[in-house]
Amino acid sequence: MHGELAASWPLKGVTIVATDKKLLLIDGNSVAFRAFFAMHDALDSMTNHDGLHTNALYAFRNMLKNILEKVDPTNVLVAFDAGKTTFRTKKFAEYKGTRARMPGELAEQLPYMHKMLDAMGIKWYELKDYEADDIIGTMAKEGAAAGMAVTVLTGDRDLTQLASDRVTVQVTVKGGGQLEAYTPASFQADLGITPKQFIDMKALMGDNSDNYPGVNKVGKVTARKLVQQYGSVEGIYEHIDAMKPSKMKENLLNDKEQAFLSKDLATIRTDAPITVGLKDTDYSGPDTAALRAVYEELDFNSFLKDLAPDEADAVVQKDLPVTPLTSAVLTKALAGKAPKAVMIEMLGDNYHTEPVIAVGVGTPDQWYVATSDEILRDKLFQSWLANDAQVKYVFDAKRNYVAAHRFGATINGIDFDMLLVSYLLNTVDNSNDLGAVAAQHGYHGVEPDATVYGTGKKRQIPEGHDVFVQHIAHKMAAVYNLKDQLIKDLQDHAQLDLYTDLERPLAIVLANMEIAGIKCDPDTLRKIGASLKDRLRDLENQIYTEAGHEFNINSTKQLGTVLFDEMKLPPVKKTKTGYSTSVDVLEKLQDQSPIIQEILNYRQLAKIQSTYVDGLLTTIHPDGKIHTRYIQTLTQTGRLSSQDPNLQNIPMHQDEGKQIRKAFVPSHDGWELFDADYSQVELRVLAHVSGDKNMQEAFKENRDIHANTAMKIFHLSDPSQVTDNMRRQAKATNFGIVYGISDYGLSQNIGISRTQAKEFIDAYFEQYPQVKTWTEQIVKTAREQGYVETIMHRRRYLPDINAKNRNLRQFAERTAMNTPIQGSAADIIKVAMINMAQALQQQKLQATMLLQVHDELIFEAPKEEIPILAKLVPSIMDSAVKLAVPLKVDSSSGATWYDVK
């Protein structure tokens, strides 16, 4: 009685039947595929100590765990395909003929999957000449006949034909994270057919992926209609004579043989000659010792923890040997020539000001940790830090270098910077958290800082002293232990030179620029602020008068209400949350009301006031300087970014904002600022990488590239025919190419029609044909290898390059074109910076490099050194790398940053 009632109750997609036996059948190959692609982004970061990829194993194990918990089976079998040839390929040679071979990175994981299943006490099976589907079909039938509740787990919808009262088919969707249950009822609801009729539908439709044909011109909709009407393929042909003449009838008659063949191929066998029986599938849980060995082999430390939490904790989180780091133990702690990990710990991001809460040094044999900053003033420690011959491993060289400098110490001999190396290996998700970065590389067991210290207002030094010093020790151990693996990965990527010759020395150059800082005169800022305050008050009043009442102009919501509801101006564009009030929208409304111009002026001045007057004033240090932080491990292209404050976006284009630059001055009397910037560096890189002869010629002959492009796209014969407007449009087109052009984007940017934009682009590619070839080639390369590279082998992965979602895919395509250009330009100026720092030192100049703004370097120097810089800086910058076209550098000097440009 109870059983019958329960039978009609689907619970978690599993039908409960009278017997308490539950059989779980898993389509090993298809779930492995899903697992592999679900964690494809992590492919390169997930390898074990032998370099074996483990992403599919990791995800497969998680999927397995989920389904085991969900079904709680008494019997389990995982079926695998035995090989490429099966009875189906004997019947139809082309069957699955178009399938790409299994990626090598997945194939290498399959033997370990088998090993893991063995250790889990789960039977797995493959059968020559049959697919996993047929093994599952046959076992499902046996299980159902024995009264068991059968669940099939697969990533392939073809298996849904097995659904019945006793068999539920769970299909992994959304990268394997979720399941979709197929039952006879769900079939009826979705398609109006039975699971068995799904075979007939597939027979008529054909299957591109399995590469069998079906009937010409019959797709999903027609196939479903035919099956609903006639019941089966056989039913259709029994009644075909009665059908009215039509193209479809003709196709059905022509392809009759194919339809029956396809049905045969699509039908999963339930009578395969399998040599396993239900009794072989008894499941009673894993052999813990064997499973531990497998997880250890795969470096699955988090799974080890799950396996036996207490025991595994002892393995992963076991106490490391730590001694307090004091002057008394220094001789011992720093003895020997062996490399040592070093760590200067601060809670917050801004290492220019954050208190140092701990200092650590050591090797896995013995760690030394101090929980104050005192040791940084110790002369012996300082001389060890400064000793280039003492090899050091760190996480974030620049951070440690700058912090040490505050105590009068200099760190030399940094060999391994785990953060920097990790960023070069994969630019994505490089958090500042050591534990997270270590985990990315398969090294688990370092707690995230947020766990140990807390976040936000609650962030603090842990109360337990041991917890604190152990955390520091575990972090140093991770750095130490990951060194060999990460350096090997760099070598495998051909990125070792990028690291040792470029990024690693650059970290020190940047540290010294940050430490130098740039002097900023608060009085200049305050004067600008006072004048802005008056003008803003006037504008506010005018705007309130126009609007008829006061409101918060800074609130886009309130502004939208005023403009579009109250004043009835036509809304041009919407955002996710309401009306858009951005500059391009307001400019379109400009002639409709004087309020628009007032708002534009207000916005412009308010931005200068809040971000550049008030904002900058709060960032001036007691030494009268601004010390930004260049973030070296953030951008996806290899550029730097600048924070606290951002000195890479100080106003330039409009005179009002540009006044801010007058506050940036030299730090000594009798000194000046000196500025040098690359001219058209990105387009020169494009001319180089594309090999385009026309573009290269323009640069070799030092022509105005935008005018040159204008002549080409407007088909002019003489430079004098180029009008300002033509040059402007040509310039935008040049930029568009660098950004990975679209006709829509270009049309929006320069306010022309989409058709016209398309004409520009076509003309452009006609005139620079090798640029066109290059854009096509780089996208193809990205598709094939999954990443693109700069001239210095900086790498950016583009997981979306093969996405089904068009937006994602096209975005990845534009990125594939832009990153080699923007990134190579970043490489070039980085080389120049290193050479520049070296030259200043060698020539014993007082001149100091202060800022980098992507294609521009800013120095300060005694006036008498300015003529030297005027020769030296451009020559070093334009010879940083040798391209197929010359690099050009413009420079100037002046009393303030305003005056140098």
Residue 552 sits in the site that holds DNA (CB under 7 A): yes
Residue 575 sits in the site that holds DNA (CB under 7 A): yes
> Any idea of the CA torsion for 541, 543, 549, 553, to the nearest 10 degrees?
-100
Site string for DNA, 838-857 (x = CB under 7 A): ---------------xxxx-
Residue 686 sits in the site that holds DNA (CB under 7 A): no
Judged by CB under 7 A, the stretch of 11-19, 71-79, 125-133, 637-645 that binds DNA is 637-645
Neighbours of 860 (CB within 10 A): 25
Q: Which is nearer to DNA, 175 or 615 (CB)?
A: 615
CA distance 707 to 728: 9
- Which among 414, 425, 510 has a CA at the least distance from the CA of 793? 425
Residue 667 sits in the site that holds DNA (CB under 7 A): no
Residue 771 sits in the site that holds DNA (CB under 7 A): no
Answer for which of 137, 736, 820, 874 binds DNA (CB under 7 A) is 736
Residue 422 sits in the site that holds DNA (CB under 7 A): no
Q: Which is nearer to DNA, 651 or 886 (CB)?
A: 651
Residue 879 sits in the site that holds DNA (CB under 7 A): no
Residue 481 sits in the site that holds DNA (CB under 7 A): no
- Which among 638, 633, 629 has a CA at the least distance from the CA of 831? 638
Site string for DNA, 577-606 (x = CB under 7 A): x--xxxx-xx-------------x--xx--
Min. distance of Cβ 627 from DNA in angstroms? 12
Contacts (CB under 7 A) with DNA, residues 290-329:
none
Min. distance of Cβ 442 from DNA in angstroms? 25
Residue 555 sits in the site that holds DNA (CB under 7 A): yes
C-alpha distance from residue 616 to each of 579, 653, 710 (Å): 31, 19, 40
Nearby residues of 881 by Cβ (< 8 Å), 6 or more positions away: 791, 827, 828, 831, 887
Q: Which is nearer to DNA, 30 or 637 (CB)?
A: 637
Residue 556 sits in the site that holds DNA (CB under 7 A): yes
Answer for which of 634, 763, 881, 884 binds DNA (CB under 7 A) is 634
Instruction: Give per-residue burial for 633-643: e unless 16+ CB within 10 Å, then b.
Output: bebebbbbebe
DSSP class of residue 139 equals H
414 pairs with which residues across the strands?
A: 392
Contacts (CB under 7 A) with DNA, residues 856-875:
856
Answer for which of 25, 477, 741, 866 binds DNA (CB under 7 A) is 741
Number of residues counted as binding DNA (CB under 7 A): 73
Q: At what angle do helices 724-739 and 743-750 cross, to 10 degrees?
A: 140
Judged by CB under 7 A, the stretch of 101-109, 258-266, 524-532, 813-821 that binds DNA is 813-821
What is the 3-class SS of 490-549, one letter each residue? HHHCCCHHHHHHHHHHHHHHHHHHHHHCEEECHHHHHHHHHHHHHHHHHHHHHHHHHHCC
Min. distance of Cβ 185 from DNA in angstroms? 32
Judged by CB under 7 A, the stretch of 182-190, 242-250, 515-523, 572-580 that binds DNA is 572-580
Q: Which is nearer to DNA, 365 or 655 (CB)?
A: 655
Residue 781 sits in the site that holds DNA (CB under 7 A): no
Q: What is residue 273's three-state secondary structure?
A: coil
Alpha-carbon torsion (578, 580, 586, 588), positive or negative: negative
Q: What is residue 432's three-state secondary structure?
A: coil
Phi-psi category of 12—alpha, beta or left, where left has phi over 0 and alpha has psi -120 to 50? left
CA gyration radius, the chain? 34
Q: Where are the alpha helices (DSSP H) in 639-680?
A: 655-658
Judged by CB under 7 A, the stretch of 518-526, 767-775, 806-814, 837-845 that binds DNA is 806-814
Alpha-carbon torsion (252, 255, 256, 261), positive or negative: negative
Neighbours of 36 (CB within 10 A): 23
Contacts (CB under 7 A) with DNA, residues 446-465:
456
Residue 740 sits in the site that holds DNA (CB under 7 A): yes
- Which among 216, 214, 234, 236 has a CA at the least distance from the CA of 225? 236
Contacts (CB under 7 A) with DNA, residues 123-162:
none
Residue 636 sits in the site that holds DNA (CB under 7 A): yes
Residue 651 sits in the site that holds DNA (CB under 7 A): yes
Judged by CB under 7 A, the stretch of 91-99, 263-271, 630-638, 765-773 that binds DNA is 630-638
Nearby residues of 788 by Cβ (< 8 Å), 6 or more positions away: 778, 781, 782, 795, 796, 798, 815, 816, 819, 820
Min. distance of Cβ 619 from DNA in angstroms? 8
Residue 896 sits in the site that holds DNA (CB under 7 A): no
Q: Which is nearer to DNA, 340 or 706 (CB)?
A: 706
Residue 41 sits in the site that holds DNA (CB under 7 A): no
Q: Which is nearer to DNA, 290 or 853 (CB)?
A: 853
Residue 657 sits in the site that holds DNA (CB under 7 A): yes
